[in-house]
Structure 1
Amino acid sequence: MKVLKVFAILLMIIGWLRLDWLMGMHSLKRKRRSSVYPWRKGEMNFYDDGVAWMKSLELDIMEAKRSICLLFYIIEPDEVGRRLFSLLEGRVKDGIEVRILCDALGSKNMKKWVKPLQEAGIHIALSRPLIFKGSLFSLQRRNHRKIVIIDGEIAHVGGFNIGREYVNLDPVLSPWRDYHLRITGSGVEDLLSEFQIDWQREFKKTQNHFEAVSHEAKGSFSYQIVPSEPVNMEAFMLDLFDLAQKSIFIGTPYFIPTEKLFSCLKNKLAQNISITILVPGTPDHALVQPASYHFLRELIDLGAHVYQFEHGFYHAKVLLIDEKLCDVGTTNFDRRSILINDELNVLTTDQRIILQVQQSIQKDLQHSVRISKDQLKPEGIGGSAMELVARSFSHLL
């Protein structure tokens, strides 16, 4: 009887969470903005190593002349985070305006650092504070973006956060593999607009001046800024997949597709379009791997090639269509990122960037193993139960 009661309570919790999710999604769709940024011209640099990217970021911060805006899902106040704080405090003394946004959940360890940084002259806020208002949906919706804007002229966008693991100092998850872009040109203004939207959500009662920089269309790289709120990320990905005539590559730390995206991928396999999926072999969350197994087994059965990265941790978020169209950014291939999180991607057709992304993918595949359907089957009752629980909570992962 006790087991039945526990099972009944669990079903009630799952049902309530599902209803809460559906109501939250309905509200989110009604509030969605409709603006979409056009294709822009500029220069782009690609990074797949956190140490090299951090050196580039620090150099841009040191050379800033007017303003520095930072937004990260995770900022850890470890030795890497504290080095960044020290650098930013020095720039404030030089008369540079510094603003920091970090997600209240992802950067929970930053709470005690807000006041000291404010006293040092840095404007800082925790984005999407954890305040329960009768629904878990608003708590689930996180600001997952990683954006830096220097002087309104240089921007950094991609998968790296701020912390020791991202610069290969974590003994378990190193080397950390991620893809990041440094951007100049007219698209930086679009990124600044997105930062301003996030900033003013947290500072509604204050007037905040954001530097409006007029960019000429300088640079030979063509790209488009794709933020999640004005752009339905699920529809955006479906449109990308519909363009595929030969191949689709998906690189993601978490593979929990929506029903529409899963159906689309199965249809593409039926059309003899090659699909390759790269995910981590070592998970950083307990439920994300078993939640993905059902989807991966079915796709493997239909002919997809699935690889697990076995040399550190794979955290990159990338879509590559026919080796002609590339999407790099912050959006994981899971339901939370695709449907509710604040995310931001960069779409490009530039073959110079695509070639660098391809080379990085090939390097990561060399440190990966191709897995079979049988390897993803749950082991025993415990494994089956874990997969059932993970699938039941998949919309929360």
Structure 2
Amino acid sequence: MVFVLLVIALVIWMGIDLMLGAKKRRKNPSSLKSVSADMEFIADGDDFLRMLLKDLDAAVDHIHMMFFIFRDDTTGNEFIDKLCEKASYGIHVRLLTDYMGSRHIKKSTIKKMKKSGVHFSFSRKATFPLFFTSINERNHRKITVIDGKIGYMGGFNIGKEYVGKDPKFGYWRDYHLRIKGEAVHELQKQFLSDWSRENAGTELDEAFFPSLPKGNALVSLHITNGNSVEEMFISLIDDATSLIYIGTPYYIPGDKLQESLLNASSRGVNVKLILPIRADHPFVQEASFPYLVELIEAGCEIHQYMNGFFHAKVLLVDDQVCDIGTANFDKRSLTINGEINCIFRDQEMITKVKNTIERDIVQSDPLHLKRLKDRTLKNRLIGPIARALSPFL
């Protein structure tokens, strides 16, 4: 009897905790800052690894890195060794990783970094009184700033799977941006904001914000904390007149975003989604199936990427506007996580992204309604559980 009462009390506590957390997130500030930038599009893990290590090696003042997942594996240690080396030379190095996403970093590795002079911190650690909210709200941003002059943001994390070295996933497809110009200041501000949240009394250095040239393109950096991503996606989709490409590893959009896509299809917009053929998270595919059935019945195209794992987050509308960032088309990105997205209209960059999307579609299989309806009994039984858990997947 005592055990039952404890379970009931725990469930009530969790429910109140999560309800208060959701209410608080709806009031969180978000920002949409338009600045100039020069952008380089990266869609291959080896290219990302090579370019980032080269820029780290050239750092002369500071390195600021923030990732949701930072593995303590061979790939992660290649970066850790580089950070330790630069810190030992007197370069100011800060590494911020999400508490849950990077929880497997060994204490000995953290000790090694700190001994070398690397300033390491976890982001979004568990706290009271809203304990369940704090372990559910994740910092999903991936930002690197080097010498205040070069920035990175996008979908890649640090670990062997992201460079195609995990046989479970094979080749890893992701979209990332290397940025120069005034936009780097905005990446720097967000990094320092996230860092200061965990490390009170952080001092700012003028070297963090050197004078930067204007870039060739105008971009809008959309920074969110559990709100306004949905509104941004819907505003872009509702303006579509001919074509929408969406790439995401997880498609659990909720009713409003799903309706926006269905409305686009009904007015003659060609809607195409790229999703992975396999899942890297339990229940994700089952939670997405009801939404996918609706899209296919409405005439939308669903393509499942076959050449490894598809992790890119991209929205391209009418060859006119593109969004690349960290937010997925799922409820967690829409209503819980801290995210950063880059929206741009630069035609040269959009052409590069579109060409990559179309190559990815060639390496995908179309998903037909029959395959969704011919699921096994086990999958059908899992479906209701997955839908109930979808806000937390």
What TM-score results when the alignment is normalised by the length of structure 2?
A: 0.93
Amino acid at match of 2:194: D
158, 167, 172: which is aligned to 2:168?
A: 172
Distance in 2 of aligned mates of 1:322 and 1:231: 25
1:252 paired with 2:248, answer yes
60, 68, 74: which is aligned to 2:63?
A: 68
Partner in structure 2 of residue 366 of structure 1: 362
Whether the 8 Å contact between 1:41 and 1:221 is mirrored in structure 2 is yes
Residues 15, 385 of structure 1: CA spacing in aligned structure 2 closer, same or farther, 3 A cutoff? Answer: farther
Comparing 183-192 and 209-218, the one that deviates more: 209-218
Comparing 10-19 and 254-263, the one that deviates more: 10-19
1:100 paired with 2:95, answer yes
1:264 paired with 2:242, answer no
Give 1:36 shift.
2.9
Distance in 2 of aligned mates of 1:76 and 1:180: 18
15, 24, 28: which is aligned to 1:27?
A: 24
Residues 36, 86 of structure 1: CA spacing in aligned structure 2 closer, same or farther, 3 A cutoff? Answer: same
Comparing 49-58 and 203-212, the one that deviates more: 203-212
Give 1:213 shift.
2.0
Partner in structure 2 of residue 395 of structure 1: 391
1:204-243 pair list within 5 angstroms: 204-207=200-203, 209=205, 211-229=207-225, 232-243=228-239
Whether the 8 Å contact between 2:30 and 2:224 is mirrored in structure 1 is no
Comparing 279-288 and 210-219, the one that deviates more: 210-219
Whether the 8 Å contact between 1:37 and 1:226 is mirrored in structure 2 is yes
Comparing 17-26 and 333-342, the one that deviates more: 17-26
- RMSD of aligned C-alpha atoms? 2.3
Give 1:248 shift.
1.1
Comparing 121-130 and 210-219, the one that deviates more: 210-219
Residues 207, 221 of structure 1: CA spacing in aligned structure 2 closer, same or farther, 3 A cutoff? Answer: closer
Give the gaps of 5 or more residues in structure 2: none
Whether the 8 Å contact between 1:378 and 1:387 is mirrored in structure 2 is no
Partner in structure 2 of residue 353 of structure 1: 349
What TM-score results when the alignment is normalised by the length of structure 1?
A: 0.92
271, 280, 286: which is aligned to 1:284?
A: 280
Amino acid at match of 1:180: H
1:342 paired with 2:341, answer no
Partner in structure 2 of residue 3 of structure 1: none
Deviations 1:127-161 (A, max 9, x none): 11134635422211101111100001100111111
Residues 364, 16 of structure 1: CA spacing in aligned structure 2 closer, same or farther, 3 A cutoff? Answer: farther
Give 1:230 shift.
9.6
Deviations 1:348-382 (A, max 9, x none): 11111111111111111111101112211263432
Distance in 2 of aligned mates of 1:347 and 1:378: 38
Whether the 8 Å contact between 2:301 and 2:366 is mirrored in structure 1 is yes
Whether the 8 Å contact between 1:33 and 1:230 is mirrored in structure 2 is no
Give 1:226 shift.
1.3
Give the gaps of 5 or more residues in structure 1: 1-5
Partner in structure 1 of residue 124 of structure 2: 128
Distance in 2 of aligned mates of 1:174 and 1:380: 26
Give 1:11 shift.
12
Whether the 8 Å contact between 1:117 and 1:124 is mirrored in structure 2 is yes
Give 1:35 shift.
4.1
Distance in 1 of aligned mates of 2:385 and 2:315: 28
133, 138, 155: which is aligned to 2:134?
A: 138
Give 1:208 shift.
5.0
Give 1:102 shift.
0.3
Distance in 2 of aligned mates of 1:385 and 1:215: 58
191, 196, 208: which is aligned to 2:192?
A: 196
Whether the 8 Å contact between 2:26 and 2:226 is mirrored in structure 1 is no
Whether the 8 Å contact between 1:258 and 1:335 is mirrored in structure 2 is yes
- The aligned length equals 388
Residues 302, 19 of structure 1: CA spacing in aligned structure 2 closer, same or farther, 3 A cutoff? Answer: farther
Partner in structure 1 of residue 32 of structure 2: 36
Give 1:58 shift.
0.7
| Percent of aligned positions that are identical | 36
Whether the 8 Å contact between 2:30 and 2:222 is mirrored in structure 1 is no
Whether the 8 Å contact between 1:68 and 1:97 is mirrored in structure 2 is yes
Amino acid at match of 1:29: R
Residues 296, 202 of structure 1: CA spacing in aligned structure 2 closer, same or farther, 3 A cutoff? Answer: same
